[in-house]
Structure 1
């Protein structure tokens, strides 16, 4: 009997796949790291300058501070390519926790300002160099649907706090009124229109806000807070209606001033003092002093105060030239970050 051995079918050899060596990508990785990683470490943080038109509101059970600020510069090659060199932004922060709820870019122009006119539970109204801008309080998104044509100038807008409405000047010279948390406009009442026509303008320069610091501050019942000058520095004293002075405590403050419209002026129990860290250290410090016990309850090195805003919950937001801080009902002073970004510039 003959046997035939099975023969395996012929298979042509498969072509070998060419594999790129890992080392091929090393130069690209090094160049990428040099461009994006090293440049990020080498570039300084952008300059942040808080603009004076700060606002406050209450929404979703939170006390919210609204801070317009300018951000000049970028950090690293990625931001240089994909982010604007000059930005004006509006940040919303929870005054109680310090959490930044949202941070929205408003402009990419070098010289451009925005100020908060008013804020409700739905919308934030801004007077800007481009006209009236409205944002959603919940997420900071820009809102469309404003009446037009309106004047493209900050000085063409104001807020009627008594009637809770935004006053706006249109390009025909008519004064319009926009109810808080609404977008539609209607002609203002004749009497109000006549009064606001003397205030609103397309060309008038907006006056700088009053200084946030002074040598004295007014308390209730005719009392005053005053800094009594010594040979080196000054001490805080309380001046009664009859002129009698009582030292609050014996702490000597150097190059000091009282933050007006702060916790004491708002009816609280604390005075807020701006002063130098020491006679030889000119860095600016904010210190809270209890008017009842005279003890220092909080102190923080921070920028020069620009404005103090009393919040409905008894806290105070102190806006500085580079950020802001809050003074709690317990007298603690806490810095809240504004303008901080990640690697991508977000």
Structure 2
């Protein structure tokens, strides 16, 4: 989760509720991420902290959205165990299964920072959600996070039954860096001839290595994510400039997207990654993939998990839930 960049009209363009979260984030002392060390960026207040503080100020509940149960697990990876969390909804099951990848530019954030989204997805889709962490840069450079994401998917496919999951109803969801990982993992599943997901939901994905797209230029100094912040992420995760052209990073220009399942791409208007989502949708359509891309106006990067404070986040979650339920019903 990125911290605030120098404001460039974000507050004027944001909805009242979105603006209140961003104001609270500034009050908590969050600084532009590109001005920080990695350790500082990992420990400073997050947008999730801002939502909680705002709810507390408004006298509203700060309790997380309820699910039937959560369980922290470890997934075997090529370089060690990968922390993950299993969210189970109310009901009898067996349940559909969602593999979820959090954001943070492959450098910051963890399962706790991105706790709200998998809870919402579990309830929206009436599915078990396995939220998987992954190795992060600069300690573990590209493709470490991508390799861990693939390992997590393979493990969930093999072990879903132990959580009362039905692997015949399977989806991949991710946010930001995780949004790109979700598509990359689906490509890996196709190429490795694994069980394919029935759907992908990619929320404001990092889908390319270029930072001169229309939305990067328009939202260069947006909050809570700006162009300099994205360059900081690339610098800390990628080993070289050439990695920006790897098909696992540059999904819209370099990747073979053919044969992927129906995909929903959710974007925020005030976000340098908006064009990434639009161009990914165009590339997927050209590759014959059924895709819907929708941009939510007056909200910023990181809005998806903010349903407790930002009504448009609930609308986005409703869209994701609708698409996932429809995909599962077709199986």
TM-score surpassing 0.5? no
Structure with the bigger percentage of helix: 2
- Tell me which interval the TM-score lies in, with the shorter structure as reference length: under 0.3
Structure showing greater Rg? 1
Structure with the bigger percentage of strand: 1
The one of the two structures with greater contact order (alpha-carbon pairs below 8 A, sep at least 6) is: 2
